[in-house]
Chains A and B, each alone.
Chain A
Amino acid sequence: MARSGTSGELSPEQMNALGEAGNIGAGNASIALSQMVGKKVELSAPRANLLPLASVPGLAGGPEVPVAGIYMRIKGDCPGSILLLLERESALSLADVMIASSLSGAEDMAVRQSALEETGSILSGAYLNSLGELTGLFFKPSVPGFAMDMAGAILEHVLVDVAEFEDYVLVVETDFKISGQLIRGHLVLFPDQGALGAILERLGVPFG
C-alpha cells in the first residue's frame, strides 16, 4: 500500500490516545461555545478513525446533506485542517442566536456567514489551544473560509489537503448539541499525514 503504510498501521492504543486528546480539546471548545451563546453545550466523546478516501464525504450524514462548513487550514508544528460542519438549519439557528446577542439586527446572509465564521474560529481555536497545551506543539489556524453547500463537496476540499499521497485519512470527530435550540454540529480534525508522527510521539504512543 505504498506510502499509506504509516497511517495504515495505527494501533488501538494510538487511536485511544488521539481520541483522548480530542476529548480535552472538545471540552475546552464546548466551554467557549457555551459562553458565546449563553446555553449549555453537550459534547459526544471524540472518535478517532482511519477512513478510506471514498467514505470521508459521507461522514456528516451523507454527501448531499446541505451544510455550512467553516474550514481552517492549520500551520505550525503540526499541519492539518479543521472543519466545523453544521446542518443547514442548525447553522441558521446558531447564527441567529449569535446575532441576537450582539448589536447587529440584520438578518442577511453575509451577517449570518460572519457569525458562523466567528463561531468556527472560536471553537477551533479553543480545541487547538488545549491540544497544543497537552502536546507542547504549536497549532496556528488560518482565518476561516466559509461554504454552504453539499457536505461531500466541502469534505472533498479538505481531502485534497491531507490525502495527496494517501488512500486513508485520520479523522478525529466530535458531535455537539446546544440544548433547547436543536442545534447540532460536527467538529472534525484532519492532521496531515506527515504531522501524525509528531502528535503521537508527544502523546507517548510513538510509531515503532
Chain B
Amino acid sequence: MGEVVSVGVAEMKFSDESGTLASYGLGSCVAVAMYDPLRKVGGLAHVMLPESRGTDSEEAPGKYANTAVSRLVEELVQLGAWRTGLRCKIVGGSQMFDIPGNNQRAANSPHTHIGARNVEGVKRELERLRIPLVGEDTGGNYGRSIKFNTSTGEVEVKSIYYGLASI
C-alpha cells in the first residue's frame, strides 16, 4: 500500500495511485474519503464541525463540513479526477461523552450531537454537489481509525470494541 500519510484534525490531504491516507482516533469528527477509482486519485478530510461560523475557513478548509466537501471536489478535479467519476465514503461522527443531566444546555452548546451534526453536514454537501455516498460507518459512542486506499477507494475501519471492518 506504500506510504501511509496521516490526516489530522481539520486537515485535508491527497494522494495518487500509490498512496494510503489515514486518520487515527476519530471521535465526533468525520473522515470524508473521496476518490475517483478510474483516475486513481483520492483525498481525505478530517472534519471537526458542521459549518464555519468564523473567518478561519480559508485557513483550514478541512475543518468544516461546509467547506471541506467542495474543496475536496475542486482539488481532486485539479489532480485529474473527473467530476462525474467521484465517489465518497464517510466514517466517524460518534458521541464520545454523555454527561448525565447535562442535556439541558443542548441548544447553545456546540457539542450537542456534534457527531451526528457533522455527518448530516457532510451528507448535505455531498447531495448538493451530487457526489454519490457509497460507504458509511458512522454514529455510535466509540472511536475509530481508518486507512483509505486512494486508488481503489477501499476503506479499512478499526475500533477497539468492534475490531476491523472494510467498507
Contacts and interface: CB of A to CB of B under 8 A. Distances in A.
Interface residues of A, number: 39
Interface of A: 1-4, 53-57, 62-64, 66, 69, 71, 73, 142-147, 149-157, 159-161, 163-167
B107 interface: no
Contact of B97 (A53, A62, A145, A164): A145
B144 A153 contact: yes
B145 A160 contact: no
Given A73-B102, A149-B96, A157-B28, A53 B56 contact: no
Contact of B29 (A55, A149, A156, A165): A156
Contacts of A160: 28, 48-49, 110-111, 114
A66 B11 CA distance: 23
Interface in B16-66: 24-29, 46, 48-49, 53-56, 58-60, 63
B121 interface: no
A148 to B, nearest CB: 8
A2 B11 CA distance: 17
Contacts of A143: 99-102
Given A155-B25, A156-B29, 8 more contacts: A3-B56, A64-B25, A64-B145, A153-B96, A153-B142, A153-B144, A154-B143, A165-B56
Contacts of B9: 53-54, 56-57, 156, 159
B143 A71 contact: no
B153 interface: no
B8 interface: yes
A156 B54 contact: no
Nearest to B55: A2
B59 A167 contact: yes
Given A145-B99, A157-B96, A3 B54 contact: yes
Contact of A152 (B27, B48, B53, B99): B27
A101 B14 CA distance: 53
B67 to A, nearest CB: 14
B101 A152 contact: no
17 contacts: A1-B59, A2-B55, A54-B9, A56-B9, A57-B25, A63-B24, A63-B25, A142-B99, A143-B100, A150-B27, A151-B25, A152-B145, A153-B26, A156-B48, A156-B96, A165-B54, A167-B56
